[in-house]
């Protein structure tokens, strides 16, 4: 038997909060260094209407740029 509407609403209200994740995919030259990634990340937060996300993924790393320069 399917749950009644009130029990579904209670279930939804009692669920843990959503975990937001985002990713950046730098395509422009120089897009893999910290300042450019930071700008892309800030644009993502603005588009999501959030101040933070739980995880930020780098969609396509550039193996020619040291990882430390990406951070």
Return averaged pLDDT per consecutive 10 residues of the chain, 71 residues in all.
48 63 75 80 85 81 77 68
Give the residue carrying structure tokens 């603005």: 46
| Residue 61 covered by a domain | yes
CB 25 within 8 A of CB 59: yes
Quote the domain boundaries for residue 64: 20-70
Domain count, the chain: 1
| Residue 1 covered by a domain | no
Which pLDDT does position 13 carry in this prediction? Answer: 57
Which pLDDT does position 70 carry in this prediction? Answer: 74
Which pLDDT does position 22 carry in this prediction? Answer: 79
**CB burial of residue 46 (10 Å; 0-12, 13-18, 19+):** exposed
Which pLDDT does position 15 carry in this prediction? Answer: 58
| Residue 32 covered by a domain | yes
Which pLDDT does position 7 carry in this prediction? Answer: 46
Which pLDDT does position 40 carry in this prediction? Answer: 83
């Amino acid at each position: 038997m399917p749950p009644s509407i009130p029990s579904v609403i209670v279930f939804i209200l009692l669920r843990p909060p959503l975990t937001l994740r985002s990713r950046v995919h730098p395509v422009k030259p120089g897009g893999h260094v910290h300042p450019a990634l930071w700008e892309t990340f800030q644009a993502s937060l603005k588009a999501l209407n959030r101040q933070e996300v739980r995880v930020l993924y780098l969609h396509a790393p550039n193996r020619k740029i040291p990882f430390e320069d990406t951070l």
